[in-house]
């Protein structure tokens, strides 16, 4: 109401003044209570605007709106102006031109950002502005893996990391490659057993026969990784056996995996067109009721995929399916995923480092992933969050959840915190399924740390192998007959030798002892 347009009686005016005063007092009390434990709160101060480039073109949002980011701003006094990448080349061009924002959030080109001419060193900003912030030594070591200058600084902190011991003691599950099916169709088919690769092939044949308009299997970001794991092939660049590292194509089971996938294709269980689809279009095939199954990741996806499919078929729901063998391993080689660099173009590095300090507190990490304690969640007896009904209802529908809560700003979440936030909002049968995956998890960050640095001869070999294997492996899978398959397979293995796969394995194995000692 605009009170200047009304002529109220004096008595009413006094009531309004009294009510307003009470509201201000109560509001200030609530605000103060909300600030308890938040050393970064800037009550009464002007909001600081920081620009951020998010180097993920697939990121589900480019807006600092919603309950979670707005609460982060309330507690820190910082508002983020977000620019999302258009493609994978944009950041490289920005670095070349020097046209950078205050903050860069990325999982690539970290070596170029770890340079004092490009970014502020966290340790120096901490010493100057936040001397009470003690960054975990392992997180510092992970960041320094990308520092090629030898100046012993660190220029970001990577999220999504836990030590092997932390995983062993605290993890309820992990985000791992898995298979997602239409559970309602499985019900109609009598829920045949799904324990082996043969079981899966038989199900594909049944789906193809009974539902000729359905594509039996599609994939997006997670590709055909579940089938690699089922065969015992590492779903990462390198695997490890008896303490020795090997490039994944040198697994004794790699050819068996390719043969299986080639037969899979030749029997019509997947389409060649899948390789040319964007991740969004491939996912839409499942949501629109055009495919029976897909690959994905444990966490929210096995549940929310079914909810999305209900828009087309109200009976739809989805299952998490595990096809494992005694030799299966879920490799986790990560030394962390992405970090935020504070660039030398930052207008306010003090506000930036104080913002990052808050985000790396337990309070900040949980707020970013789980929402507000006492409103969106309380801690359960199993050390997992128990979410409100309002949160759970929204979580079931990803677009609704992203608009209302926008829990995508998990800059500082470790892998366990992130997974718990995703799994705790799901029906219990999904978490039970994820827990069955844990005995097959192999946590080995030393393998990730041992990968060659950018600019080295070994890194050049590494990059060439990735490109060659990706293209030639696809040719193997899409081969129309055995003769064609064998030609492409032999070409793949021969080209790997020529590029230098043996030299790369020697290099990685030489690095392993020091990094194994660092993480174990």
User: Which residue's entry shows tokens 């180097």?
Assistant: 55
Counting the structural domains of the chain, the total is 2
Tell me if 361 sits within 8 A of 271, measured CB to CB.
no
- Residues contacting residue 115 through CB under 8 Å, at least 6 positions apart: 149, 155
Environment class of residue 186 by beta-carbon count within 10 Å: exposed (0-12), middle (13-18) or buried (19+)?
buried
Assigned domain for 207 exists? yes
Same domain, residue pair 353 and 471: no
Same domain, residue pair 123 and 137: yes
- What does DSSP say about strands 377-379 and 318-321: parallel, antiparallel, or unpaired? unpaired
Tell me if 94 sits within 8 A of 53, measured CB to CB.
yes
pTM of the model: 0.86
Q: Is 370 helix (H, G, I), strand (E, B) or coil?
A: helix
Q: Is 296 helix (H, G, I), strand (E, B) or coil?
A: strand
Which backbone phi and psi does 375 adopt, to 5 degrees? -115, -60
pLDDT one digit per residue (tens) for the chain, 520 residues: 433 333 333 333 334 333 333 443 334 333 333 333 344 444 446 899 999 999 999 899 999 999 999 999 999 999 999 999 999 999 999 999 999 999 999 999 999 999 999 999 999 999 999 999 999 999 999 999 999 888 999 999 999 999 999 999 999 999 899 999 999 999 999 999 999 999 999 999 999 999 999 999 999 888 999 999 999 999 999 999 999 999 999 999 999 999 999 999 999 999 999 999 988 899 999 999 999 999 999 988 999 999 999 999 999 999 999 999 999 999 999 999 999 999 999 999 999 999 999 999 999 999 999 999 999 999 999 899 999 999 999 998 889 999 999 999 999 999 999 999 989 999 999 999 999 999 999 999 999 999 999 889 999 999 999 999 999 999 999 999 999 999 999 999 999 999 999 999 999 999 999 999 999 8
User: Which residue's entry shows tokens 């063998």?
Assistant: 325
Q: Do you know the residue count of the chain?
A: 520
- Residues contacting residue 232 through CB under 8 Å, at least 6 positions apart: 251, 253, 325, 327, 328, 329
CA 360, 363, 367 angle in degrees (round to 5)? 100
CA nearest neighbour of 347 among 77, 117, 101, 116: 101
E strand residue ranges, 112-221: 177-182, 215-218
Which backbone phi and psi does 237 adopt, to 5 degrees? -60, -40
For residue 7, how many other CB atoms are within 10 A of its CB? Answer: 8
CA nearest neighbour of 410 among 48, 56, 42: 56
Same domain, residue pair 376 and 277: no
Q: What is the pLDDT of residue 300?
A: 87
Describe the crossing of helices 349-359 and 362-370 by its angle, rounded to 10 degrees: 80
Assigned domain for 195 exists? yes
User: How far from 66 is each of 328, 398, 403, 419, CA to CA, in Å?
Assistant: 41, 13, 6, 21
Q: What is the pLDDT of residue 45?
A: 64
User: Which residue's entry shows tokens 């608009």?
Assistant: 403
- Residues contacting residue 137 through CB under 8 Å, at least 6 positions apart: none
CA atoms within 13 A on the CB side of 297: 13
User: Which residue's entry shows tokens 């860069």?
Assistant: 104
User: What is the Cα–Cα distance from 216 to 288, expressed in whole angstroms?
Assistant: 14
Same domain, residue pair 265 and 387: no
E strand residue ranges, 408-502: 441-443
- Residues contacting residue 254 through CB under 8 Å, at least 6 positions apart: 231, 233, 248
Same domain, residue pair 204 and 305: yes
Assigned domain for 356 exists? yes
User: What is the Cα–Cα distance from 443 to 138, expressed in whole angstroms?
Assistant: 15
Assigned domain for 37 exists? no
Same domain, residue pair 459 and 498: yes
Same domain, residue pair 323 and 285: yes
- Structural domain harbouring 118: 48-161+336-413
Same domain, residue pair 197 and 298: yes
- What does DSSP say about strands 377-379 and 385-387: parallel, antiparallel, or unpaired? antiparallel
Same domain, residue pair 291 and 153: no
Same domain, residue pair 319 and 341: no
Assigned domain for 36 exists? no
C-alpha gyration radius of the chain: 26
Assigned domain for 271 exists? yes
Q: What is the pLDDT of residue 16?
A: 37
Q: Which of 413, 432, 462 is the last residue of a domain?
A: 413
Q: What is the CATH number of the domain that holds 69?
A: 3.40.190.10
């Amino acid at each position: 109401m605009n009170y200047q347009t009304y002529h109220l009686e004096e008595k009413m005016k006094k009531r309004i003044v009294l009510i307003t005063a009470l509201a201000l007092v109560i509001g200030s009390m609530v605000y103060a209570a909300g600030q308890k434990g938040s050393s970064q709160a800037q009550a009464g101060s002007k909001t600081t605007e920081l620009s951020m480039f998010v180097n993920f073109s697939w990121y589900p949002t480019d807006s600092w709106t919603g309950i979670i980011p707005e609460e982060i701003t309330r507690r820190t006094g910082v508002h983020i102006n977000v620019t999302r990448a258009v493609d994978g080349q944009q950041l490289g061009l920005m670095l070349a031109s020097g046209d950078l924002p205050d903050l860069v959030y990325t999982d690539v080109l970290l070596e170029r950002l770890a340079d004092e001419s490009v970014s502020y060193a966290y340790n120096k900003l901490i010493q100057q502005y936040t001397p009470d912030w003690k960054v975990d030594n392992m997180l510092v070591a992970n960041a320094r893996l990308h520092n090629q200058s030898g100046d012993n600084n660190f220029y970001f902190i990577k999220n999504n990391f836990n030590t092997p011991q932390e995983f062993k003691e605290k993890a309820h599950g992990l985000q791992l490659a898995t298979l997602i099916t239409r559970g309602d169709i499985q019900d109609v088919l009598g829920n045949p057993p799904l324990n082996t690769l043969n079981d899966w092939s038989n199900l594909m044949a049944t789906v193809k026969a009974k539902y000729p308009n359905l594509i039996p299997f599609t994939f997006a970001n997670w590709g055909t990784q579940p089938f690699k794991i089922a065969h015992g092939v590492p779903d990462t660049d390198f695997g490890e056996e008896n303490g020795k590292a090997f490039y994944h194509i040198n697994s004794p089971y790699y050819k068996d995996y390719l043969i299986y996938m080639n037969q899979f294709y030749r029997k019509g269980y997947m389409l060649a067109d899948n390789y040319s689809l964007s991740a969004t279009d491939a996912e839409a095939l499942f949501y629109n009721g055009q495919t029976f199954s897909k690959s994905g990741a444990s966490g929210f996806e096995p549940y929310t995929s079914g909810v999305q499919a209900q828009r087309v078929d109200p009976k739809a729901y989805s299952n998490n399916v595990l096809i494992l063998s005694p030799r299966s391993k879920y490799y986790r080689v990560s030394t962390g995923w992405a970090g935020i660099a504070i660039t030398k173009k930052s207008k306010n590095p003090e506000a930036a480092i104080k913002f990052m300090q808050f985000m790396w507190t337990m309070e900040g990490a949980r707020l970013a992933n789980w929402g507000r304690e006492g409103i969106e969640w309380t801690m359960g007896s199993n050390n997992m969050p128990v979410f409100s009904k309002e949160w759970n209802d929204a979580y079931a529908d990803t677009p609704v959840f992203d608009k209302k809560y926008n829990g995508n700003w998990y800059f500082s979440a470790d892998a366990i915190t992130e997974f718990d936030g995703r799994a705790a909002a799901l029906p219990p049968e999904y978490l039970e399924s994820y827990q069955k995956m844990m005995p097959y998890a192999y946590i080995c960050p030393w393998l990730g740390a041992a990968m060659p640095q950018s600019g080295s001869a070994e890194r050049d070999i590494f990059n060439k192998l990735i490109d060659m294997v990706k293209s030639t492996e696809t040719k193997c899978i899409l081969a129309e007959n055995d003769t064609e398959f064998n030609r492409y397979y032999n070409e793949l293995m021969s080209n790997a030798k020529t590029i230098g796969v043996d030299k790369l394995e020697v290099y990685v194995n030489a690095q392993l002892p020091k990094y194994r000692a660092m993480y174990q």
